[in-house]
Amino acid sequence: MKISPLEIEQQTFNKTFRGFDSVEVSTYLGMLASEFASLIAENAELKDKVKELTTRLQSYQEMEQTLQDTLLATQKTAEEAKRNLQKEADLIIKEAHLRSEEMLEDAKLRLADLNRQISNLQMSKQSCLSEFKALLDAQWHLLENIESGVDYQKGKVATKRRRARPRGEELEKILDTLEEAGAQQDAGSGTES
């Protein structure tokens, strides 16, 4: 049963013989009503504060939940980004390995091709040198034949003195000199281009 301060203040009692002093009871009831009124006001104020604090607490809890959700989403995003970056890095590394293997294979093929070309050039050089030696030899024989043969000028037959044929060492020196001249010419044309 709810009692208001006004009801306490207006409460009346039956008078009996030897009862309480009515002024004293009225004063006490007035004081009690006043105290009761202040307690009711304080209670209402505390209820308002509890309501306000409950609202704020609920707001803070919602903010905390939002922050936790955001933190979880950020962590998931960061982990996903990390996984994606790792995948991308692995892919880049694989591509780099494949490209380096392709480049190495290409370099090996080019080296083999260059070695074949060098071998072909060396064989061509040897062939040219052999042909040149044969040509020099043939020219030398021709010169010997011409010098040792008959001189038909002025209708006279004369034997000319034979020139000494160069020995193998001298022929090698002549060929070496020709090779050096060819190498210098190749080096000169290589630096120009």
Q: Quote the CA–CA distance of 177 and 168 in Å, as a whole number.
A: 14
Q: What are the CA-CA distances from residue 175 to residues 127, 129, 149 (Å)?
A: 13, 8, 28
Tokens 């009346």 found at: 12
pLDDT at 153: 47
Domain boundaries, the chain: 5-162
- The predicted model gives 107-123 an average pLDDT of 95
Global confidence as pTM? 0.39
Average pLDDT, the chain: 82
Q: What is the pLDDT of residues 130-161, one digit of tens each?
A: 898 888 888 888 888 887 764 444 444 444 44
Token pair of 118, please?
């060098």
Q: What is the pLDDT of residues 159-170, one digit of tens each?
A: 444 455 555 677
CB 157 within 8 A of CB 150: yes
Write the single-letter amino acid at 12.
T
